[in-house]
Amino acid sequence: MMLDDTDREIVGRLQRDGRMPFTQIAAEVGLSEGAIRKRVQRLTETGFMQIVAVTDPLSVGDRRVALIGLRITGDTDRIATSISTLAEVEYLVATAGRFDLMFEVMVVDEQHLLELLSSLRSRADVTDVEAFPCLKLYKQTFAWGTS
């Protein structure tokens, strides 16, 4: 999907404040409220954009967050699809660095993380697993994809 400059302006405003009224966006962008509503609907229905509440998972207190790097053998898309079905996986990307796949997981405690890592290590298509438990969140922004 191609974004025009107006779409980028709308998305940028919603990234700063997902609850910004369409009337305010319309006034700032120079379109009608109805035009803004239609554009937002198109952006969300096509899957380009989601409007969600974002929290700091480390501040919740009853969960642990870790980044996991995998080296794999076989088809990246097939393995990534399989990994993405794990309930603990929040974010998954293919990389061109030391690991083939990297992903963020949210687990209940260290035992849960250990069990997840053991499960990953037992897979025939995984050759290496490295976990990076997250101790503190310093920055989390979602102001990308509009420039």
Q: Which domain holds residue 34?
A: 5-45
Alpha-carbon distance 107 to 60, whole Å? 12
pTM metric for this prediction: 0.70
Q: Does any domain span residue 146?
A: no
pLDDT tens string, the chain, 147 residues long: the values are 688 999 999 998 998 888 999 999 999 999 999 999 999 999 999 988 888 776 666 666 667 899 999 999 999 999 999 999 999 999 999 999 999 999 999 999 999 999 999 999 999 999 999 999 988 888 777 666 555
Say which CATH number the domain at 23 has.
1.10.10.10
- Token pair recorded at residue 37: 């509503």
Residue type for position 38: K
Residues 85, 120 within the same domain: yes
Strands 126-133, 89-94: pairing is unpaired
Residue that is written with structure tokens 């954009």 in the block: 49
Cβ atoms of residues 58 and 65 within 8 Å = yes
Residues 128, 71 within the same domain: yes
Domain count, the chain: 2
Q: Does any domain span residue 21?
A: yes
- Token pair recorded at residue 20: 């910004």
